[in-house]
Each structure stands twice: as C-alpha cells, then as structure tokens.
Amino acid sequence: MGGITAGTAIHPYHLPLMSRTALSIGNFDGVHIGHAALIRRARDLAGADGRVVVISFDPHPATILRPERTPPRLTTFALRAEMLRALGADVVEKLEPTPGVLAMSAEEFVHDLVKRYAPTWIVEGPDFHFGKGRSGTLELLRSLGTASGYTLHIEPSVKIALHDQLIAPASSSLTRWLLANGRVADAALVLGRPHRLEGVVVKGDQRGRTIGFPTANLDSEVMPPSDGVYAATATLPDGRRFPAALNIGTRPTFHGVDRRIEAHMLGATEMPAYGWRLSLDIAAFVRDQVRFDSVQRLTEQLRRDCDRAAEMLASPLTLCTTEPLACR
C-alpha cells in the first residue's frame, strides 16, 4: 500500500528537528476563520522555538473517491500555503490523495504521520476524521497519542453571524453555498477576507472594447460566485490595484452560452492583452445578470454598474462587512 509520500513542501521540510512540533492535517481549502483558529492554536502550543507543520490534502480526496461530487476549489494551493504561513505555519506540505494514501487504515495513517513528523501535539477541529473511509475518530486519535507520544488538542468550531442573522459554524462547504447563491459579503465573513479569484487573462470576444468597456477575461480554477455583477478589487502582477466591476455569466444580451469571468478595471491603462495573471478580491454584490434589448441599454447600465462598484469599494461599511476580523 505504501505510506504517506511527501508532496510539494512550500518551505524545505528538511529542517533540524525542534523540541516541540504542533501538527494539523486537513484540506484547508479557503483557509477560513475556523482554519485560522486551528493554526493559531498550534502556534501557541508550539511556542516561538517550536514549529507548526500543516499537512494539506490537494486536490480534495473526493477527486479520487467521488469524482462526480468533487467540491469546487476555493483557493489555489499556492495561495492556501501563503495564507497558512501568514497565520503561523512554519511548514505547509501538500499531501496528494493517492489510492495508496486513501486505502490506509486510521492506525496506519497516524503511524506514518508520527514517524515522519514526530508531533508533540496534533491540533484538529471537532469534526475531524481520517484513514480509510474516514473511519478514524477523535477518540481513536487521542488514544493513539498515548503510545505515540503526542497530545491531541481539539479546537472548538468558530461560529459566525451572517447578514441574515443566522449563526453558523465556519466551513468550506458553507462558503461554497454562499458563493453559489451570490452572497459574497457573507462568504467574506466566513473567510475573514473577500473571496479571491486568481487566474490567467485569456482572449475573449473583444466586444467590451467596442462599446467602451474593455474587460480582462479570467481563466481560473477557483470557484466564482453565481451569475451577476460584483464590486471587486483587481491586483495586477506588478502590484497595482484597481477597483473593478466584475461580470460573471453568459452575456445574455449577446446570446452567449459559455460562462465567463470578465473584469472591467476602472482607471487601468497600458496592460498586456493576454497571458498575464490577475487576482480579483470580490467585495460586494451589485446586481443580477439581465438581458437588455439593445447595446445602448446595456452600456447605460454598465456605466451605472461601474459607478456603483466604485462607490461600494470606497465605502468603509463595505470594507467592514467583508473583513470581520479587522472590524471586531
């Protein structure tokens, strides 16, 4: 069957063994406020002289186990690792869900983790399962620690109050549901920051430039929100940032079929045509997708969309409602 094989280590793994290692295993897709609590707790336990090791499944195990039910990706692995490091992780290591790894019993899985990382603590949330068929429980993980020399710390779920007053535990699945329903401000509450689309700008129909609204068409592996117009902040490869009116949908006025991500950046000039990377931090919903009966009606609405997006992005209220950790 084989044991756990190291994937891509964002920091070199071959470091001198430190006296205290706090380890956490999971998907960590989205790196939401619940994930942040786990990593901060691991950092507190390890202390300044210890290390925090994060093992992140990528891609999601469902790609092997249930391909038809694989959840859409919330972050690229590179962004996920960057955010985990910013929260206090010393090592972020990718664990690919190979058939061999997924076939390991819960006991085999823990044995390999202990052999490789020698954790002093394992830090997990209350719904953590592991091993073949997710058969491993927290009770088993705790009992295995007695013989293996680690202590299990269970970090409570982090609950968040959404704009409709619903209080729910932060999770990646909740974030996906909110995005699928266009609730980007609520998704930002769960994530602790606006949802980010990243990708490469590709060639589109070039219709936007003919009506005075040129767009950057983004090819992204990250889940976009539902069809509509959004206010976003665009970040270019050179670090420049621009407010943007972001349209996601099929372009019904032009009888489009395929779904696209198109950003009109306000005030941006002299950009390469295609092939460059773009990041879009989505702050607020502007309006639903609508089919207009003429191009003139569409362009009139696009002007209003741009004004509204700029207004929303300049509003301290919008920033506060999408960045809860900074506003508490």
Are 102 and 219 part of one and the same domain?
Answer: no
Determine how many CB atoms are found less than 10 A away from the CB of residue 191: 30
Q: What percent of the chain has pLDDT over 70?
A: 88
Are 56 and 149 part of one and the same domain?
Answer: yes
Q: Which of 144, 148, 155 is nearest to 106 (CA)?
A: 144
Of the three residues 157, 186, 213, the one that is the final residue of a domain is 157
Are 102 and 41 part of one and the same domain?
Answer: yes
Per-residue HEC secondary structure of the chain comes to: CCCCCCCCECCCCCCCCCCCEEEEEECCCCCCHHHHHHHHHHHHHHCCCCEEEEEEECCCCHHHHCHHHCCCECCCHHHHHHHHHHHCCCEEEEECCCHHHHCCCHHHHHHHHHHHHCCCEEEECCCCCECHHHCECHHHHHHHHHHHCCEEEECCCCEEECCCCCEEECCHHHHHHHHHCCCHHHHHHHHCCCEEEEEEEECCCCHHHHCCCCCEEEECCECCCCCEEEEEEEECCCCCEEEEEEEEECCHHHCCCCCEEEEEECCCCCCCCCCCEEEEEEEEEEECCCCCCCHHHHHHHHHHHHHHHHHHHHCHHHHHHHCHHHHC
Q: How much is the pLDDT for 207? A: 67
Q: Which domain holds residue 298?
A: 194-327
Are 228 and 319 part of one and the same domain?
Answer: yes
Give per-residue pLDDT as tens, 22-78: 999 999 999 999 999 999 999 999 999 999 999 999 999 998 889 999 999 999 999
Is residue 5 in a domain? no
Are 137 and 200 part of one and the same domain?
Answer: no
Are 202 and 318 part of one and the same domain?
Answer: yes
> What CATH number does the domain containing 230 carry?
2.40.30.30
Of the three residues 133, 157, 181, the one that is the final residue of a domain is 157
Domain count, the chain: 2
Phi/psi of residue 295, nearest 5 degrees? -65, -35
> What CATH number does the domain containing 148 carry?
3.40.50.620
CA end-to-end distance (rounded Å), the chain:
48
Give per-residue pLDDT as tens, 144-180: 999 999 999 999 999 999 999 999 999 999 999 999 9
Helix axes 106-117, 138-148, angle to 10 degrees: 40
Are 142 and 204 part of one and the same domain?
Answer: no
Is residue 150 in a domain? yes
Is residue 181 in a domain? no
Are 210 and 321 part of one and the same domain?
Answer: yes
Q: How much is the pLDDT for 256? A: 72
Q: How much is the pLDDT for 119? A: 97
Peptide bond into 224 cis (omega under 30): no
Q: How much is the pLDDT for 64? A: 87
Are 272 and 205 part of one and the same domain?
Answer: yes
Is residue 4 in a domain? no
Q: What percent of the chain has pLDDT over 90?
A: 76
Is residue 177 in a domain? no
Is residue 140 in a domain? yes
Residues in the chain with pLDDT < 70? 1-18, 206-210, 253-254, 257, 317, 319-328
- Alpha carbon distance 215, 212 (integer Å): 10
Backbone region of residue 274 per phi and psi (left: phi > 0; alpha: psi in -120 to 50; beta: other values): beta
Is residue 186 in a domain? no
Is residue 70 in a domain? yes
168, 32 Cβ separation under 8 angstroms: no
Which pair of tokens denotes residue 27?
């998907």
- Alpha carbon distance 37, 39 (integer Å): 6
Of the three residues 94, 129, 157, the one that is the final residue of a domain is 157
